[in-house]
Homo-oligomer: A and B are copies of this chain.
Amino acid sequence: MEKQHNLSKNQKIIFDLIDKSPEPLKAYSILFNVQKKGINAPLQVYRALDKLVEIGKIHKIESRNAFIACQNSSCQISKATAFSICESCEKVSEISNTKLSKYLSNFADEAGMKYSKYNLEFFGLCKKCKSK
| Interface check A73, CB cutoff 8 A | no
| Cβ–Cβ contact B116 & A107, under 8 A | no
Within 8 A of B (CB), among A88-132: 93, 95, 97, 100, 103-104, 107, 109-111, 113-124, 126-127
Partner of A117, one of B62, B123, B127: B123
CA A126 to CA B124, docked complex, whole Å: 32
* Integer count of this chain's copies in the complex: 2
Structural contact, A95 and B109, CB atoms closer than 8 A:
yes
Interface residues of A toward B: which range? Answer: 20 to 34
Which residue of chain B is the closest to A119 with respect to CB atoms? B121
| Residue A10 is within 8 A (CB to CB) of chain B in the complex | no
Q: Taking chain A's interface residues, is the majority helix, strand, or loop, or is none over half, making it mixed?
A: mixed
Within 8 A of B (CB), among A71-97: 79, 84, 87, 93, 95, 97
- Residue of A79, A100, A109 most packed against chain B (CB within 10 A): A109
Pick the residue among B87, B103, B116, B120 that contacts A119 (CB under 8 A): B120
**Is A35 in the interface zone, CB < 8 Å from B?**
no
Q: Given contacts A117-B124, A119-B120, could you give 14 more A-B pairs where the C-beta distance is less than 8 Å?
A: A62-B121, A63-B119, A84-B109, A84-B113, A84-B115, A97-B109, A97-B110, A104-B120, A104-B122, A111-B127, A113-B126, A114-B124, A117-B122, A118-B121
